[in-house]
Structure 1
Amino acid sequence: MLKSVSDIIIPDSKLAVGAAELLREHGDTLLWNHSHRVFLFGALQGKNARVKFDAELLYISALFHDLGLTKKYSSPDKRFEVDGANAARSYLQQHGVPDESIRLVWDAIALHTTIGVAPYKEPEVALIYSGVGYDVMGENFESISEETREQVVAAYPRDNFKNKILPAFLEGFKHKPETTFGNIKSDVCELLLPGFKRTSFCDCVLHSPWKD
């Protein structure tokens, strides 16, 4: 475990280390490196914007944000984001974390793919969203210097991340593609899942049981 990257200290409390051990056990190298980059890129953007945030909660949110894709935490019928959020909530409850902190972590994980909402929430929620957006899609790419980006990637390599992450997403919810309705992850199903047909909100309205 690294202690810091680019002047961002990686939390090493008992709570943080325990969460990291769960990711190590149930995730893989792709999720390990991605989750740490999400924390670092989120924290760096928060630092640059002079936003106050709880680094421990941000770190734990990052570690759990994609754990809903793993066999251990994946439910048969919930969005993977909710599975990860529920796993984090259970973990934090077991360690006596205050309800308000648990709510922040739950929201950060559950909303990390929700465009247009998460950026307006509390700092921990907004920074997980921006950390994910930075690592996955390069959003606000120039907000972090090339030198800093290289330090983060040297510590937690991308290793062909662009081409690996989409199949990894699909693997996590191909057994329940209907849970991607109304979410950007339906794009993944449309691209990679043979025979997938998006649910249309308009069809839901026009074919509802109402007579009018």
Structure 2
Amino acid sequence: MSSDSPFPKLPKSGISLPDTPLVRDALEHIKKFTSPTTVNHCIRSAYFAVLLSRQISRSSTDPLDVELVVFSTIMHDLGWATDKTLLSKDKRFEVDGADMARNYLEKDKLAEGWNKHRIQLMWDAIALHATPSFALHKEPEVLLAHIGIMADFWGPNFPGFPITIEENQEIVEAFPRLGFKEQFLDIMCGLCALKPETTYDNFVGDYGVEYGLDGKGTGKEEFTRKRTALSSPHIFYPAIGAYEQKEG
């Protein structure tokens, strides 16, 4: 690793990120399209993923694809792009991020070694990063991307994946949080306002119900009403009854 690397080796925990041209380019890419707070969150997530890779038991003899894990975690929040014209109107932010990262790989000459399977794993790692009921049961690279990202929310309190106070502090000092808690709420509520239909069936909608469309309660009653009306018990379950009645 060169002395001018954007990914310093952390001496206390002894971890570093693969300083490959592709990973460097990925970092420059997210700097163009996301906020400095988001950039630091993505880098911290990559460090946490590498740190926690020591705790993952693997039955497979295949070596862990660390570059894939780090690339995925660094690119995982492209769906939080500050330029909203880059985002879809009908996809969850995780899918936006996965699609944007895949498009990037398909155009980048540095990704020549990325075959279809490797790109699909990357897409899964980003698209499923906020859905533990899927990600925890996928390939090690997908699992590690998920827990690395979640570790940046939980820190030493991460259930099931011990992180010491010293390890957490070292990563956060290298890449400060820069008001991450406040910006996260703004982003979640902003998604509820920008494309609410993509939030009704997942955790993002919980923020609209609790905090409204601006983080201060504005519009939360109307948002909650629409979300409830489009929930599974009000749409999917009645559809079963209507179908069975027609068949009968």
Q: Structures share a fold, TM > 0.5?
A: yes
Q: Which runs of 5+ in 2 are unaligned?
A: 1-5, 214-218
Whether the 8 Å contact between 2:79 and 2:97 is mirrored in structure 1 is yes
Alignment partners' CA distance in 1, 2:160 and 2:140: 19
1:45 aligns with 2:52: yes
Alpha-carbon separation, structure 2, partners of 1:32 and 1:176? 23
Q: Please tell me whether Structure 1 or Structure 2 has the larger radius of gyration of its CA atoms.
A: 2
Which residue number in structure 1 is paired with residue 144 of structure 2?
127
Residue 90 of structure 1 corresponds to: 103
Give the letter aligned to residue 31 of structure 2.
Answer: R
Deviation at residue 27 of structure 1 after TM alignment: 0.7
The unaligned stretches of length 5 or more in structure 1 are none
Q: How many residues align?
A: 212
TM-score, structure 2 as length reference: 0.78
Find 1:3's aligned residue among 8, 23, 26.
8
- The correspondence of residues 166-205 of structure 1 with structure 2, limited to 5 A, is 166-172=185-191, 174-192=193-211, 193=213, 194=219, 195-197=222-224, 198=227, 199-205=230-236
Label 1:173 to 1:53 Cα distance change in 2 as closer, same or farther (>3 A). farther
What letter is aligned with 1:139? F
SS of structure 2 residue aligned to 1:210: helix
The residue number in structure 2 matching 1:160 is 179
With CA pairs under 8 Å and 6+ residues apart, which has the higher RCO, 1 or 2?
A: 1
Preserved CA contact (<8 Å) 1:57 1:105: yes
- Identical positions, percent: 35
Q: Using the TM superposition, give the Cα deviation of residue 72 of structure 1 relative to its aligned residue in structure 2, in angstroms.
A: 5.6
TM-score (norm 1): 0.90
Q: For residue 58 of structure 1, what is the amino acid of its counterpart? A: V
Decide which of 114, 119, 134 is 1:102's aligned counterpart: 119
* Contact map agreement 1:73 1:87 (CA 8 A) in 2: no
Change (3 A) 1:156 1:134: same
Aligned equivalent of 1:111, options 117, 121, 128: 128
How far residue 101 of structure 1 moved from its aligned partner, in angstroms, is 1.0
Shift of 1:135: 1.4
Q: Is the 8 A contact 1:37 1:135 kept in 2?
A: yes
Q: Deviation at 1:205? A: 2.2
From the superposition, tell whether residues 105 and 180 of structure 1 become closer, same or farther in structure 2 (CA, over 3 Å): same
> After TM superposition, which residue ranges in structure 1, 4 or more long, deviate above 6 angstroms?
none
Q: Which of 92-101 and 50-59 deviates more?
A: 50-59
Post-superposition CA distance 1:84-112 (Å, at most 9, x none) = 00111111122332111101110000001
Computed over aligned residues only, the root mean square deviation of the Cα atoms, in angstroms, reads: 2.0
